[in-house]
């Protein structure tokens, strides 16, 4: 690869770490917000919905403006919003009459940054002259997992050493990462996503394409497969290890994230020797099997291990779908990546909601909800079959 693009690749890696920061730091403070500001838990829960809701809207809106203002400026805005949101999180709750309003403003700002990063970083990485684009995309997405683990470990260590009362300092420290990456993206070379002489597909052309809808189905299933179990991993950790809720919140999601990151890193290393679609097919079968073990095995510790295996199995789905889409629709441009990101976010929010709703309807049995969630890996397998037939 052209060495001048190596810095672009590194900036993309850090971009996904920034997204992990904005998605995973504030949830560590939920109980602190409740105790310090007297905010009801139902309002605190709404912060997660607001974060991903704003990201969904940004995914959709980005189709209209990213190509007009360019990737560089869009990336700088994304990092600026992320950094500003984290800084204001440390300041606004103490300045405004209602602390909750200050937190809401901060969440909206960094959610705008997170939504833009989700749309922008993958196509910028795809445009870099890497020797194996599927492997590079998988390695890129592994950095979200490592970022998630790092946010939890570093923040927890900071709170243990200096006390949770100093969370504002930690928020400001995390804001340094997007600020530094903003400067980096202002200088690195960014290659055009669509080759010179080619015309990008319009939104209407994309929506009329059968292959696009199959890829969108795969992306929705990728998000749903991932989050349907990830969001409930802490519960399985509490039951399987017999630990407190606090330790469960750390152990379950971290095990899931570590194995998901490992899966992406392995494909990032060996992707030139592993056919992408066959790997996704095999991982979908592994995901299906892990769902069955989680839901049907009576031993909690084995269910927890199956949660980790599930994390490993879903790792390749999201970056793999991006890579397949880029190869199948090379002139899809920003609209393709934005709509796929939108589909992934729909799956991420819909998967846990589906599991929770089914579990509630069946007497609160979480395992029954996971069992009926096998529809997601099954649909993913069907989507792969449809893609193959349409391609032929």
Judge if 218 and 328 occupy the same domain: yes
Judge if 81 and 113 occupy the same domain: yes
CATH number at residue 91: 1.20.1250.20
Q: Which structural domain range is residue 108 located in?
A: 1-190
Distance set, CA 220 to CA 49, 276, 338 (Å): 18, 18, 13
Query: Closest Cα to residue 153, out of 24, 312, 16, 307?
Result: 24
Q: Which of 141, 160, 190 is the last residue of a domain?
A: 190
Q: For helices 99-127 and 333-361, what crossing angle results, to 10°? A: 130
pTM of this structure: 0.89
What sections of 38-189 are H helices per DSSP?
Answer: 41-69, 71-95, 99-127, 133-162, 167-185
Q: Which of 159, 190, 221 is the last residue of a domain?
A: 190
Q: Which of 190, 220, 243 is the last residue of a domain?
A: 190
Judge if 82 and 53 occupy the same domain: yes
Mean pLDDT lowest among 52-56, 235-239, 317-321, 362-366: 235-239
SS3 content of the chain, % helix, strand, coil (to 5): 85, 0, 15
Judge if 22 and 36 occupy the same domain: yes
Q: Is the pLDDT of residue 355 over 60?
A: yes
Q: What is the pLDDT of residues 327-337, one digit of tens each?
A: 888 888 888 88
Judge if 248 and 326 occupy the same domain: yes
The total number of structural domains that make up the chain: 2
Q: What is the pLDDT of residues 195-221, one digit of tens each?
A: 766 677 878 888 889 999 999 999 999
């Amino acid at each position: 690869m052209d060495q001048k693009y190596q810095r672009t690749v590194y900036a993309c890696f850090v971009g996904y770490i920034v997204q992990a920061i904005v998605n995973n730091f504030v949830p560590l403070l939920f109980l602190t917000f409740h105790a310090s500001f007297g905010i009801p838990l139902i309002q605190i829960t709404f912060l997660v919905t607001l974060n991903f809701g704003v990201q969904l809207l940004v995914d959709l809106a980005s189709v209209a403006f990213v190509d007009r203002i360019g990737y560089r400026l869009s990336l700088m805005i994304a990092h600026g919003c992320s950094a500003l949101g984290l800084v204001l999180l440390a300041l606004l709750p103490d300045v405004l009459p209602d602390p909750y309003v200050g937190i809401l403003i901060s969440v909206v700002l960094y959610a705008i940054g997170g939504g833009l990063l989700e749309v922008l970083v993958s196509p910028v990485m795809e445009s870099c002259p890497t020797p194996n684009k599927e492997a590079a995309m998988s390695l890129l997405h592994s950095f979200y997992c490592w970022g998630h683990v790092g946010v939890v470990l570093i923040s927890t260590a900071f709170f243990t050493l200096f006390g949770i009362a100093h969370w504002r300092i930690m928020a400001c420290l995390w804001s340094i990462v997007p600020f530094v990456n903003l400067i980096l993206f202002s200088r690195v070379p960014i290659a055009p996503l669509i080759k010179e002489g080619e015309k990008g597909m319009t939104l209407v052309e994309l929506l009329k394409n059968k292959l696009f809808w199959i890829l969108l189905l795969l992306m929705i299933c990728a998000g749903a497969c991932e989050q349907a179990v990830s969001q409930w991993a802490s519960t399985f950790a509490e039951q399987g290890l017999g630990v407190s809720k606090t330790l469960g919140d750390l152990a379950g999601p971290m095990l899931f994230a570590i194995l998901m990151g490992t899966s992406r890193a392995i494909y990032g290393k060996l992707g030139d020797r592993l056919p992408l679609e066959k790997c996704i097919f095999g991982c979908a079968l592994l995901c299906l099997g892990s769902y069955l073990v989680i839901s049907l095995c009576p031993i909690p510790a084995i269910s927890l291990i199956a949660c980790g295996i599930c994390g490993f199995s879903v790792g390749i789905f999201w970056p793999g779908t991006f890579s397949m889409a880029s190869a199948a629709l090379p002139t899809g441009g920003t609209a393709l990546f934005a709509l796929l990101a939108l589909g992934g976010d729909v799956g991420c929010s819909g998967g846990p909601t589906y599991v929770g709703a089914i579990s509630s309807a069946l007497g609160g049995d979480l395992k029954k909800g996971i069992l009926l969630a096998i529809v997601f890996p099954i649909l993913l397998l069907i989507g792969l079959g449809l893609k193959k037939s349409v391609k032929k």
